[in-house]
Amino acid sequence: MIKKTIALIQITRIGDVIQTCIAADQLKREQKDIELVLITRKKFGKGLEFLTKGLFKEVIYIDLKDYIKSKNDNLESVIDNFDTSFFHKLEKHRFDAVINLSFSKSSSYLCQLIKSSNKLGLTRNKQGQVAINDQWSQYVYANVQNGTLNTFNLVDIFKFMLGTKETVFKGCSEESSNTISIHPFASQKKKMWGNHKWVEFIYKFLKDNPDYTINLIGAESDAEQVSKMINSSTLTNFQERINTVVGESLEFVYQTINQSRLLVCHDSMASHLAAINTVPTIVLSLGVVRPNETTPYSNNVLNLVPKRSCFPCTIQTKCDLLPCHKDINHQLVSKLTSAILNGSEINAEFFSKEVSPFFMESVDIYASNFENGFMELSKINESSFTSQNMMETYYKIIWSYFFKEIEINTFIPTLSDTVKKDLYNNREGVKYLFELINFGLKFSNAIVNAAADINPDYNLINEYVAKLGEIDKLLTLTKNTYPQLQPVVDYFYVAKANVAGRNIKEISENSLLLYYSLNNMCKVLYDLISSTLKDEGAHLES
């Protein structure tokens, strides 16, 4: 059997490489006639060879140190080194497809340079402009990178791009150890508790669970922080029960987590390592973390998420006080940890009976479910729904049907008057969008008709194109006035900029279809909001 070869580009962080491995593993289970080649940065991929070996036919590393060897190198010698150390390895393969799972500038140029007739994900055209040919990558570019309303986990997005269908989980180790692992670090300060919070948690946990020990996991660069934690006066009597795993290989960390009963961590690569074998995990999401995207891909995870309007923030947002860090109480984390270890069912009843309402005021707790074939986070504590929650649900319904024709059922929660007001406001925004799109349809249709003429009137076509430009500006204004409508508007922009076609006729026809899609999305969004508001009389007329 001649196997097809697919190149996967993943040149972002370790966590992303692990998530790529999870998606690639599923693809290999479903498609026996393919071979995968992974292209990744050496500093992120090398330590993960225990995962990539066997899964990929070859892993080709990018490492700037291999190309820029000294300060005296000139550009030509650097490019020569680049060719010898990297591109020659790529040229040994004949790729049937290249799939770029990173969305960075460098990955787009890399994707452009790899020879293949099928390319998915971010790439560049011959003019150096960004080109995105597939719907899922257009979705990522519009929603994951720009907004806060993405509802899909990154592993699922990778799986959708790769075309996998199933979700199979490996079981976690049955061996019962009385050890839990803690990885109290993340790539940014915003994403992680300070030392004192972790010390408080460790103290509380070890005090309440005298039979248990802790593995405290950190990279070599975390050694100083680990030392400060374990030498804290609060933990003086518990030091013998804390085992440090610092500066060890990722394989050792992986094994350590696998042998633990549970992992408590932030959004970091450790959480994704735990997901491979579904080790029970409690994730504390803080700062810029977007739980829908980055929750470890496992059916055995709880994600604690601050209830705060500024959460999640962005990397650019300046925040000195880090208020969301105080939203998750260490006693709550300890309570949940002990409950999981004792086999308690964690549901609304548990929270009402076992947890002080003071701890629950500022946090929501989500568990993962895969009922619709992809990961969804369900709130398991009793808590009111925000307009953000509701809009996420609507978008999940819309995108699932638009991209995958999956129909999702969801319940309509009881909403506060403030949320209803927000939704009503959003519905007004959808009305404006709908009207604008109808104008767009009119002019787009006129372009299709004009382009179909034997002697097209290009001046007339230009006039129509200018009208569409004006509509785009008004769409941006509408998006800025109603920020929760950003996903549909931005998706439309990205899809329109990448509309397929070999000539003006094909481009205008495909563009028209896109206007129809947006028109339908607006109708569905309007109806969903109306159904929620129980305003049955309201519907859009096309």
Partner 1 sequence: MSIQDEIHQALREIESTLIKNIDLNDHRSKVLLLAALIEEEGQLND
Contact yes or no for 243/217 (Cβ under 8 A)? no
| Sheet architecture: strand order including 376-379 | 242-246, 213-218, 179-183, 262-266, 281-284, 301-306, 363-369, 376-379
Is residue 38 near partner 1 by the rule CB under 8 A?
A: no
Joined tokens for residue 411: 């319940």
DSSP string of 194-235? -HHHHHHHHHHHHHH-TT-EEEEEE-GGGHHHHHHHHTSGGG
The only residue of 73, 134, 463, 506 in contact with partner 1, by rule CB under 8 A: 73
SS (H, E, C) 78-101: HHHHHHHHHHHHHHCCCCCEEEEC
Candidate segments 104-112, 149-157, 201-209, 374-382, binder of partner 1 by CB under 8 A: 104-112
**C-alpha to C-alpha distance for 282 and 286, rounded to whole angstroms:** 13
Q: What stretches of 277-347 show up as alpha helix (H) in DSSP?
A: 291-294, 324-327, 330-341
Footprint of partner 1 on residues 363-392 (CB under 8 A)?
Answer: none
Residue 41's H or E segment, with its range, is strand 34-41
Among 92, 94, 126, 353, binds partner 1 (CB under 8 A): 126
Instruction: Tell me which of 54, 91, 113, 194 binds partner 1, using CB under 8 A.
Output: 113
Site size for partner 1, by CB under 8 A? 34
Nearest to partner 1 of 12, 508 (CB atom): 12
Residues 193-252 contacting partner 1, CB under 8 A: 219
Specify the residue, 168 or 315, whose C-beta has the smaller distance to partner 1. 315
Which helix (H) or strand (E) element contains residue 376? strand 376-379
**Closest among 444, 336, 322 to 381, alpha carbons compared:** 336
- Using the rule CB under 8 A, give the single segment among 108-116, 158-166, 297-305, 396-404 that binds partner 1: 108-116
- Nearest-angstrom CA–CA distance, 540 and 162: 36
Interacting stretch for partner 1, rule CB under 8 A, among 60-68, 193-201, 341-349, 512-520? 60-68
Nearer to partner 1, 82 or 516 (CB): 82
* Closest CB to partner 1 among residues 74, 459: 74
Of all helices (H) and strands (E), which one includes residue 272?
helix 269-276
Query: Which of the stretches 110-118, 141-149, 456-464, 506-514 binds partner 1 when contact is defined by CB under 8 A?
Result: 110-118
Site string for partner 1, 8-27 (x = CB under 8 A): ----xxx-------------
Shorter beta-carbon distance to partner 1: residue 122 or 235? 122
Query: Residue 534 region, left (φ>0) first, then alpha (ψ -120 to 50), else beta?
Result: left
Q: For partner 1, which stretch binds (CB under 8 A), given 63-71, 357-365, 397-405, 438-446? A: 63-71
Task: Choose the stretch contacting partner 1; rule: CB under 8 A; options: 77-85, 138-146, 157-165, 458-466.
Answer: 77-85
> Which residues are within 8 A (CB) of 102 and not within 5 positions of it... i.e. 6 or more apart?
9, 10, 11, 12, 16, 121, 122
Q: x/- site string to partner 1, residues 128 to 167, per CB under 8 A?
A: x---------------------------------------
Would you tell me which residues interact with partner 1 (CB under 8 A)?
12-14, 41, 43-44, 62, 64, 67-68, 71, 73-75, 78-79, 82-83, 87, 104-106, 109-110, 112-113, 124, 126-128, 187-188, 219, 269
